[in-house]
Chains A and B, each alone.
Chain A
């Protein structure tokens, strides 16, 4: 701890105030190790969770704004901006300090739109989405695609939140070998404890932090991959369209005279798609979900005619041209509730191997497990919050025997 000219009392009073106004961030705030530095314009963090503080900045800034700066800096670290910057830079082959400044600005935009207020004052001169004519509430990666350095960002050229924000090591930082840095694993446990704290008492936490806590250790996977994996595994698992048969001898029979060995026969899997389109699902999404399923069936040896699509009337206009183009027969309308669809699927002359239901989940489900594997693609319903008129209302969850993939 350096004690020469910096008003430490003020700095730490600000941290205490920040921890009191955002109790869920206290662990992370206290885990930061402060380093006095005259090279930073305000405050900056490195990827090893050190916080560099300019004494002049502490002097000229009111405690309330200083507390805002503490939360701002710790947000860079919690949201892994340095790692995300590195990944973004590698993916798009970006090099040079100018690009890193752009990442610093984008990271600041992601943070600044939701951390201030409620006890934390916005420090002077912080960058906000509206200053660059951008909309609020996006992620750093999204902002990075939306602006270039230019006259409108000139005002922020001084910004420097350190390598913790944009991944570019500075010469004035203590580096990986310096004292009091946190190891990867220590950073993960601190982030985990903060996320746990937020999940334990989500009532008072802003929405952006809740989303962060949910995704910090379980990043959402693209639904297309998940749906694809679920359908593929249902279609290609043993017992589906594949069995041992004595109808044709095994290729090994010649070497084993006297033994009749079965051979493995595969018949293409039959997939039945039930589409329930009462949800506000875009045509494109619905279409791509069906296309995806058709493509999977094809790669597993299926033929187009083995995919059947049963849909409600409302969706017929969406799915019909698509299915015609793809050569998928669209089986009748009707079926206002999914149970009817299931009954129809199982009763048909060709029993399907897999049923895929695309629905918003607001439907009664069959009481018993159907005789084939079931995958449910669940579209999000906009009114996720409890209904004020009917507080006891609970959506019917898909049954446990189905594999459920959230779509969108």
Chain B
């Protein structure tokens, strides 16, 4: 054997051995691992919204795009923006025999022709931030109007762009607010553990979200209710141009981006993705503050309706989380205040007792005091109040401390 190996070693062309070594290096396995970044990217791409990945150079944006293309079964076309001229995107003039009558057509580049012929594909515009401004201006027409020269990209083509953050971009390119408003901004970071495991030979394989065909109408209804509910209560959130320098170039709320957020909520609901992924998407569309308000109002939409609880206190289920539970109890007392009736008052007491039995007593104190104040002269104190003694003593104890602290 040694001699055979030796002769093979001597006769084989050196690059073949190198190829063997490269093949060994390429030979890696994958493991299932939840990846919320990739999940968010997949959802936004399926929702046909232009995505902008912000990330430092060399952290695997291109690798993620390869994985995404594989998962969506789309051929990937990568265009490095910085090595092109504006006319590569707006079309090259081709002079025919008689320009005066025929005009001068703007010929598209070959990759665009191939994309249109295929009818579908994933177009990845890499290194947007190092391209000169004129090229970026031409590229944004590709992203926003889906036009390359005289060609129009078919609906089956999805577009993703990537840029380096301002702090690391050599030329400091940044989006103007109107352009930033058209993108879903996703921050791309690497997970230390994933990188170390991947270099050791095991890369993650993300379980990508799939849309459930039966949930589509519900998903749309839910998304509309969520966005409209929030914007009805908070009209100021509909449109807010970024005011401070630190927030420039990022996501901000406008009717357009709220429409994008609505679409993303519908997709996330139909795909059954986690709130964490939805949080990344919504905050990347309308900005941090409005995005968090939307998520908080989604939390409240999940809470039980006070009227339903009052109608049937016996089978009520209160949320486990203390702050949400208190919101529900406050809502119940508020509902009784709006329409005070003895039966509703008694039902509210039953709910408070239930809350005391299943959770922390201090949450019940404020609603109980408010509810007690709603009593009409002819209403009998319900027997349930006896069971609230625990809450009363908690309250008294806190009162004593409060009084002691301010002599």
Given contacts A10-B397, A186-B275, A252-B87, contact A232 B171 (CB under 8 A): yes
* Alpha-carbon gap, A257 to B398, bound state (A): 90
Which stretch (A135-143, A215-223, A280-288) binds chain B?
A215-223
Q: Is the CB of A16 within 8 A of B398?
A: yes
At the interface, yes or no: A171 with Cβ under 8 Å from chain B? no
Q: Is the CB of A192 within 8 A of B296?
A: yes
Q: Is the CB of B245 within 8 A of A17?
A: no
User: Residues of B contacting A264 with CB < 8 Å?
Assistant: 134
- Please provide the chain B residues from 79 to 100 with a CB less than 8 Å away from any CB of chain A in the complex: 85, 87, 92-95
* Alpha-carbon gap, A30 to B275, bound state (A): 21
* Alpha-carbon gap, A8 to B279, bound state (A): 35
Q: Is the CB of A259 within 8 A of B93?
A: yes
At the interface, yes or no: B13 with Cβ under 8 Å from chain A? no
In whole Å, how far is A168's beta carbon from the nearest beta carbon of chain B?
16
* Alpha-carbon gap, A300 to B170, bound state (A): 10
At the interface, yes or no: B406 with Cβ under 8 Å from chain A? yes
Given contacts A220-B246, A252-B92, A405-B245, contact A189 B321 (CB under 8 A): no
At the interface, yes or no: A36 with Cβ under 8 Å from chain B? no
* Alpha-carbon gap, A264 to B138, bound state (A): 14
At the interface, yes or no: B204 with Cβ under 8 Å from chain A? no
User: Residues of A contacting B293 with CB < 8 Å?
Assistant: 192
- Please provide the chain B residues from 244 to 282 with a CB less than 8 Å away from any CB of chain A in the complex: 244-247, 274-276, 278-279
Interface of A is mostly: helix
At the interface, yes or no: B393 with Cβ under 8 Å from chain A? yes
User: Residues of A contacting B32 with CB < 8 Å?
Assistant: none
At the interface, yes or no: A392 with Cβ under 8 Å from chain B? no
Contact-residue size bin, chain A (C-beta under 8 Å from the other chain): 35 or more
Q: Is the CB of B397 within 8 A of A13?
A: yes
Given contacts A1-B359, A64-B401, A217-B289, contact A30 B322 (CB under 8 A): yes
User: Residues of A contacting B358 with CB < 8 Å?
Assistant: 1
At the interface, yes or no: A225 with Cβ under 8 Å from chain B? yes
Q: Is the CB of B245 within 8 A of A403?
A: yes
Q: Is the CB of A20 within 8 A of B398?
A: yes
At the interface, yes or no: A326 with Cβ under 8 Å from chain B? no
User: Residues of B contacting A35 with CB < 8 Å?
Assistant: none
At the interface, yes or no: B118 with Cβ under 8 Å from chain A? no
At the interface, yes or no: B363 with Cβ under 8 Å from chain A? yes
Q: Nearest chain-B residue to A237 (Cβ)?
A: B133
Q: Is the CB of B321 within 8 A of A182?
A: yes
Q: Is the CB of A16 within 8 A of B172?
A: no
At the interface, yes or no: B405 with Cβ under 8 Å from chain A? yes
User: Residues of B contacting A256 with CB < 8 Å?
Assistant: 92-95
Q: Is the CB of A236 within 8 A of B398?
A: no
In whole Å, how far is A67's beta carbon from the nearest beta carbon of chain B?
7
In whole Å, how far is B141's beta carbon from the nearest beta carbon of chain A?
14
In whole Å, how far is A304's beta carbon from the nearest beta carbon of chain B?
20
Binary contact readout A160-203 vs B (1 if CB under 8 angstroms, 0 otherwise): 00000000000000000000101111101110110000000000
Q: Is the CB of B95 within 8 A of A15?
A: no
In whole Å, how far is B16's beta carbon from the nearest beta carbon of chain A?
41
Q: Is the CB of A15 within 8 A of B362?
A: yes
Binary contact readout B380-401 vs A (1 if CB under 8 angstroms, 0 otherwise): 0000000000100111011011
Q: Is the CB of A64 within 8 A of B362?
A: no
Interface of B is mostly: helix
At the interface, yes or no: A371 with Cβ under 8 Å from chain B? no
At the interface, yes or no: B58 with Cβ under 8 Å from chain A? no
* Alpha-carbon gap, A63 to B405, bound state (A): 11
At the interface, yes or no: B320 with Cβ under 8 Å from chain A? yes
Binary contact readout A43-80 vs B (1 if CB under 8 angstroms, 0 otherwise): 00000000000000000000110010000000000000
* Alpha-carbon gap, A119 to B407, bound state (A): 11
User: Residues of B contacting A403 with CB < 8 Å?
Assistant: 245
In whole Å, how far is B202's beta carbon from the nearest beta carbon of chain A?
21
User: Residues of B contacting A8 with CB < 8 Å?
Assistant: 360-361
At the interface, yes or no: A12 with Cβ under 8 Å from chain B? yes
* Alpha-carbon gap, A149 to B317, bound state (A): 50
Q: Is the CB of B361 within 8 A of A238?
A: no
At the interface, yes or no: A19 with Cβ under 8 Å from chain B? yes
Q: Chain B CB within 10 Å — which of A15, A118, A185, A189 has the most?
A: A185
- Please provide the chain B residues from 93 to 110 with a CB less than 8 Å away from any CB of chain A in the complex: 93-95, 104
At the interface, yes or no: A41 with Cβ under 8 Å from chain B? no
- Please provide the chain A residues from 243 to 268 with a CB less than 8 Å away from any CB of chain B in the complex: 252, 256-259, 261, 264
At the interface, yes or no: B64 with Cβ under 8 Å from chain A? no
Given contacts A12-B360, A119-B402, A185-B279, contact A221 B397 (CB under 8 A): no
User: Residues of A contacting B365 with CB < 8 Å?
Assistant: 16
User: Residues of A contacting B292 with CB < 8 Å?
Assistant: 188-189, 192, 217
Known contacts A33-B321, A185-B274, A238-B134; can you find 17 more A-B pairs with CB under 8 A?
A13-B362, A13-B393, A13-B394, A17-B402, A19-B362, A27-B323, A28-B323, A31-B323, A64-B405, A189-B299, A217-B288, A217-B292, A218-B288, A229-B167, A232-B172, A257-B95, A259-B95
Chain B positions within 8 Å of A, measured between CB atoms, are: 85, 87, 92-95, 104, 132-134, 137, 166-167, 170-174, 192, 244-247, 274-276, 278-279, 288-289, 292-293, 295-296, 299, 320-326, 358-363, 365, 390, 393-395, 397-398, 400-402, 404-406
Of the A-B pairs whose beta carbons lie under 8 Å apart in the complex, a sample of 20, sorted by A's number, is A12-B362, A20-B402, A29-B322, A33-B322, A90-B192, A119-B401, A119-B402, A183-B276, A185-B274, A185-B278, A185-B295, A186-B299, A220-B246, A225-B167, A229-B174, A242-B133, A242-B134, A256-B92, A256-B94, A257-B95
Chain A positions within 8 Å of B, measured between CB atoms, are: 1, 8-10, 12-17, 19-21, 26-34, 63-64, 67, 90, 118-119, 121, 180, 182-186, 188-190, 192-193, 217-218, 220-221, 225-226, 228-230, 232-233, 236-238, 242, 252, 256-259, 261, 264, 296, 299-300, 403-406
Closest 6 CB pairs of A and B: A232-B172, A30-B322, A13-B397, A16-B362, A12-B362, A17-B398
